[in-house]
Amino acid sequence: MKSYFAASVVSQIAALLRFIVLSRVVGPSELGLVTLLILTSQFFELVTDAASDRFIIQDPDGDAPRLQQVVQSAMFARGLVIAAGLVLSARMVAGLVDAPEIAPALMAMALTPLIGGLVHMDVYRAQRANEFRPASILIASSEVAGLVGTAVAALLLRDHTAIIYGLVLRAATLVGVSHLLAKRRYAWGFSRAEAHRFIAFAVPLFFNGLLLFLGTQGDRILVSGLGKEVLGRYSASQLLIFYPAAILLRFMVNTHLPGLAGRRDEPAAFFQATEKLAGRTALLCIGMALGFAVVGPFAAPLLFGKAFQQLPIVFALLATLQTIRTVRLWPSTVALALGRSTLAAADNAARLIALPVAFAVNQAHPGLISILAGFVVGEITALVATMLLVNRASGMPNRSGVIRVMLYVTVCALIIGVSWAAEQGRVLWTGLTALGATAPLAALLYKERLILSEAVEAASRLVARGGRANTGGKSPS
């Protein structure tokens, strides 16, 4: 788990550096085109996502060679479908966003899913036994390769096509390393029983992928209507919190899913494991929200350049939006552990309320803040709805989760209030709102006191081990 967390940090830092290099070299307009390329690619990836790695982990027969061959066949077929979708839709997408220059780039991006479809699933199968080293090496090496490829291409080409070279190199590294680390021979196969079980798990996720795309990328779709430069600035600011959130999401899901899946037939143990996941996620996310709201306004122009400066309230809204999206990993991971992929689709369906709300508010008061506020409402609605549905499916009580969500949302609302008051120069209101935020924050910390206690004990053991290492294994005097 330590190696997996370290690899997740390395991979997300590499991904962030990739966009820092792009923003510095190509500027907001070209970065906006890069965002449009990635959005189109992500659409096809999400609507064909069968969660193959999670299926291998949670299925009772995930160790069976035949099932793994069936999944690898499906992965290659998916790569072909995504590549065909990118090529066939390139001109239509370019016309819709009034950017004809991205059509050839979209066709070239078809290489990425073609290569990526050949990945070996053995590295994910190893996680069934809590062996995370193969996946750790895989994600770190592929993202570092993507960074190098993008940086070199950006310096040479100085336009939006640089991202294609980085993504293709990342996919090639992902496939190559997965085969090098595999213990089994790579093969495709078909078995009616395994295929039927995989399809039953995957089909709801195809519809869920469309909902997920609209829920997670709908904000950037609406922001693109404000112009390429606005989209470029927004995407850069969003990435500053997206990558830390992605580290947390990937680590929490992959380290908690095997344990939850193994306890799903033990109600008391399952509830305890769920509470730990929920508490840890809430505490880590509130820390991210506070940190990003304070640091974001200074970090964005420092890292990306002065052209990427935003108002403080934009960063507060972004902090709230991204961390609420991340908190939702708690009920969605529980749903996957139960094998209830339909709950994930219901979760993302609830998020769609954000689109009409954000669209309506933006029509009345056009601007980035209106769009973000609408999406925050949608994410909160989805979080509550999914939590209630998952609790009903698992037989867990609602009270603890409802209190946790209420406290979390209250703290985030007050963070937004502090940013708005500070932006308006209202010193008294800024101080009063910041003071008011301490009450729900203290209540949340008290609720998660056992999780905090575990974290303090773990940190103490780590410091003690470090002290013994520095004194040759003896206790320091």
The reply to whether 208 falls in a domain is no
pLDDT tens digit sequence for 267-322: 888 888 888 888 888 888 898 899 899 898 888 888 888 888 888 899 999 999 98
DSSP annotation of 59 reads S
The verdict on 161 and 309 lying in the same domain is no
Mean pLDDT of 166-176: 94
**pLDDT for residue 471:** 56
pLDDT value at 473 more than 60: no
The verdict on 356 and 410 lying in the same domain is yes
pLDDT value at 408 more than 70: yes
**pLDDT for residue 151:** 93
The reply to whether 46 falls in a domain is yes
**pLDDT for residue 475:** 42
* Listed ranges 77-86, 133-142, 301-310; the one with the highest mean pLDDT: 77-86
Structural domain count of the chain: 2
Alpha-carbon gap, residue 136 to 130, rounded angstroms: 12
The verdict on 259 and 123 lying in the same domain is no
The reply to whether 318 falls in a domain is yes
The reply to whether 205 falls in a domain is no
**pLDDT for residue 105:** 94
Which of 241, 276, 236 minimizes the C-alpha distance to 256?
Answer: 276
**pLDDT for residue 469:** 55
Name the one residue in this structure whose structure tokens are 């509470």: 275
Which of 18, 15, 25 minimizes the C-alpha distance to 305?
Answer: 25
Contact 165, 150 (CB under 8 A): yes
**pLDDT for residue 87:** 94
At 421, list the tokens: 């008051």
pLDDT tens digit sequence for 353-405: 888 888 888 888 888 888 998 888 888 888 888 888 888 877 888 888 888 88
The verdict on 238 and 173 lying in the same domain is no
Alpha-carbon gap, residue 239 to 322, rounded angstroms: 10
pTM check: above 0.95: no
Boundary-marking domain end, from 190, 207, 238: 190
Contact 135, 3 (CB under 8 A): no
The verdict on 310 and 372 lying in the same domain is yes
The reply to whether 426 falls in a domain is yes
Integer-rounded Cα radius of gyration of the chain: 23
Alpha-carbon gap, residue 459 to 124, rounded angstroms: 29
Cα 441 to chain center, whole Å?
Answer: 25
The reply to whether 198 falls in a domain is no
Q: Sign of the C-alpha dihedral, residues 107, 157, 21, 10?
A: positive
The verdict on 141 and 284 lying in the same domain is no
Mean pLDDT of 93-112: 90
Alpha-carbon gap, residue 91 to 106, rounded angstroms: 9
SS3 content of the chain, % helix, strand, coil (to 5): 85, 0, 15
The reply to whether 64 falls in a domain is yes
The reply to whether 383 falls in a domain is yes
Range of the domain at 42: 1-190
The verdict on 223 and 328 lying in the same domain is yes
The verdict on 249 and 184 lying in the same domain is no
**pLDDT for residue 115:** 95
The least confident of 86-95, 298-307, 463-472 is 463-472
pLDDT value at 433 more than 90: no
pLDDT value at 337 more than 70: yes
The verdict on 306 and 254 lying in the same domain is yes
pLDDT tens digit sequence for 204-233: 666 767 777 877 788 888 888 888 888 888
pLDDT higher for 123 or 371? Answer: 371
Mean pLDDT of 327-339: 81
* Average pLDDT across the chain, whole number: 83
Which of 173, 147, 170 minimizes the C-alpha distance to 21?
Answer: 147
The verdict on 181 and 304 lying in the same domain is no
The verdict on 368 and 239 lying in the same domain is yes
The verdict on 3 and 126 lying in the same domain is yes
Which of 324, 332, 325 minimizes the C-alpha distance to 391?
Answer: 332
Q: How confident is the model at residue 20 (pLDDT cuts 50, 70, 90)?
A: confident
**Ramachandran region of residue 475, left (φ > 0), alpha (ψ -120 to 50) or beta?**
beta
Mean pLDDT of 434-452: 85
Alpha-carbon gap, residue 358 to 372, rounded angstroms: 7
Contact 154, 21 (CB under 8 A): yes
Residues 6+ apart with CB under 8 A from 29: 228, 229, 232
Mean pLDDT of 342-357: 76
